[in-house]
Amino acid sequence: MSLGTEQISNWMQTFRWIVKLIRDDFGIDEKILTRTAVLEEVGLTSEQLEQVLDFIAEAFEVTFPDDTLDEVVGLEDLCMLVSWMKGFYKKPDFVTDAFEAQCREANEMTA
């Protein structure tokens, strides 16, 4: 993984970055990596999904709570979560109060 994130400033750029990561590092066809794609149905194993989170966490300098893959269902959800954690986007609707507290505890978030 060698994709930089320095130029990313909105959720759509985040989405494209995540799609490229999954396509290039895990060989998943970009055609199925749509906004509505369900993470558990794109062809990645549980271990690979954890690796994706690890790569994203490192690149974007965020920390995901342990149960993130229980909260995040779709590719768009993952993108929105990362974007929110970085301050690029508003809090996603799927983020519950309890999960929000976990995210805020794990990261320095301004809003």
pLDDT digits (tens, 9 = 90+) for 64-85: 999 999 999 999 999 999 999 9
Return phi, psi of residue 61, to 5°. Answer: 55, 50
Please write the tens of the pLDDT for every residue from 25-39.
999 999 999 999 999
What is residue 6's predicted lDDT score, i.e. its pLDDT? 85
Containing H/E element for 19? helix 11-26
With 0-12 / 13-18 / 19 or more C-beta atoms within 10 angstroms meaning exposed / middle / buried, residue 57 is middle
pTM: 0.91
| pLDDT at 109 (0 to 100) | 78
The confidence band for 108, taking pLDDT boundaries of 50, 70 and 90, is confident
pLDDT of residue 3: 66
